[in-house]
Amino acid sequence: ESRLPGYATHQVGVAGKRGPRGGDCLWINWYEFLPNVWKFPGGLSDPGEDIGATAIREVFEETGVQSEFRSLLCIRQQHNHPGAFGMSDMYLICRLSPLTYDVSVCPHECLRCDWLGVAELAERVDATPITRRVASLLRYGLEQGFSSVDLSREDMPAVYTGLIYQLYHRKLPPGH
């Protein structure tokens, strides 16, 4: 039995976690529908759920690791997506920091799960191109500071409705 979602509108991946061994590592896993391919944990947003909340929830459900949101790293738009019944799919990859480290794999969702170094992952041929790319972003962020790759999140007031929305963009220096 698989709990993989039947359709998709927004998927949210997770990357950039600091590993349990003191080194900077990634949390990834292995899905049934893509055997032998390493990818990030993640899944579909519930209706009305924030991007970061989805990422935190999905990582916990799939791996047992608790984490907190740091930034938005990458956006993918794909048309005729097989996992979205041929509809367009928007896939958002977030950077999280772990609050716990022990792995508890959900057997319905993934076969294997481990911490890997971003430098190693960026070069692995059995990772997807987007996984390698995000690993390269993280490696660059570790070298140069994450402000070089992050999109910051800010709550903003909506005009007229009184609601709050979340805005993601390159962080501007103070005074700009």
Which residues sit at the interface with a second copy, rule CB under 8 A? 9-10, 34, 37, 45, 47-51, 72-80, 82, 87-88, 90, 128-130, 133, 136-137, 139-140, 148-151, 156-161, 163, 165-170, 172-173, 176
Under 8 Å CB-to-CB from 173, ≥6 apart: which residues? Answer: none
Instruction: Specify the 3-state DSSP secondary structure of 123.
Output: coil
Residue closer to a second copy, measured from CB, 10 or 124: 10
Question: Least CB distance from residue 112 to a second copy, whole Å?
Answer: 18
Residue closer to a second copy, measured from CB, 66 or 128: 128
Residue closer to a second copy, measured from CB, 53 or 106: 53
Question: Least CB distance from residue 165 to a second copy, whole Å?
Answer: 4
Residue closer to a second copy, measured from CB, 6 or 176: 176
Separation between Cα atoms, residue 19 and residue 24, nearest integer Å: 5
